[in-house]
Amino acid sequence: MESVYEQLATLMIHSDANRLLRVAGVNEWSVMQVLGHMVEMIPYWLGHCRVLITTTGEPPVFGRGMDAPERLAGIEHGSNGDPKELLGLLHDEVKAAASAIRDMSAAERSKRGIHIKLGELTVADCVERFIVAHSEDHLEQIRATLSG
């Protein structure tokens, strides 16, 4: 996740990115919309991990649909956001999440919940799938957009 941020920041700083930041293809998000989503999605999924960790008893059901208001708000925030400000916010979220993830014990990582679409997942699964791999996917999406 930290590597994703560093690569993303380098892409945006050292490329002719400004002309492409708000360009979106058909059924695609702009770079800015992706950044807004990343700023929102990292703490969103980390919050679910914390719920799974602290829950006793039956594993909780968690997740959201594509039309979740907070998800759409993150995308919208990106549409209208300042690139440097969003990169700064993303940096803060990545630092906070990386620290929280590193502090998780093996027992915490093994706690389980029931995702609304994927079924039973551990906290470790959620971190990998919804935070790390998800961030890597969005880095590739941004890389493709900025390469024209």
Angstrom distance (rounded) from CA 108 to CA 54: 8
- The predicted-structure confidence for 16-58, as pLDDT tens digits, reads as follows 667 778 777 777 899 999 999 999 999 999 999 999 999 999 9
- The predicted-structure confidence for 65-95, as pLDDT tens digits, reads as follows 999 999 999 999 998 889 899 999 999 999 9
How much is the mean pLDDT over the chain? 92
Angstrom distance (rounded) from CA 56 to CA 14: 48
Catalogue all structural domains in the chain, each as residue range(s) with its CATH number: 2-146 (1.20.120.450)
pTM of this structure: 0.92
